[in-house]
Structure 1
Amino acid sequence: MKNKKFDPFANLKLDPEEQELNDAIERGEFKVVPLNDAEKERYASYARYTLALEKKEARVNIRLKRSDLDTIRQKANKNGLPYQTLINTILHQYAKGRIKIEL
């Protein structure tokens, strides 16, 4: 029996925007831009932070207004972060007393 290599993208369905991006990539319309040392360190810092969190994290489910979540996602995207990381960072800073929220 042959060992078949698993292809996680074999039956992947893309939405129109994803398909447009995928097509542009396949046509070679995007080029790889090397990262400078500061950018490499920034992303390495994100990775270290994420790995440290994985060792100590607990999962929480919360309900948010859709508009608030959309705004958080936009701000996270603008800063090159996953939105969950941004939410976690805000909550962590609040818990440590670094930011104050009027209740």
Structure 2
Amino acid sequence: MKTKKIVLDTEEAELLSEIEAGEWHEKPMDEQELSAYQNHAKYTKALNEKRQTTIRFSVSDLAILKAKSKELGIGYQNLIQALVHNYVKGDIKLEM
């Protein structure tokens, strides 16, 4: 299995070297900064929520999709989610 090389930006590299040298000291956050980070965390969590939706397929397309998902050993809804996710990330190109 390949391991990905982690690339750090300048700030991250400086922080890592401070931590490794034992020079880093935690500074407390004020209420405004803490609130901002909490709001960012809530927003990020909300982006990962799942929403139920309805989509219509032709009977033949759905049958083929179910057969292919069975070959892969996953549920057909999980296969649809993976296809949509990979399309959104740009890993799959749509040809019309």
What TM-score do you get using the length of structure 2 for normalisation?
0.48
TM-score, normalised to structure 1, is 0.45
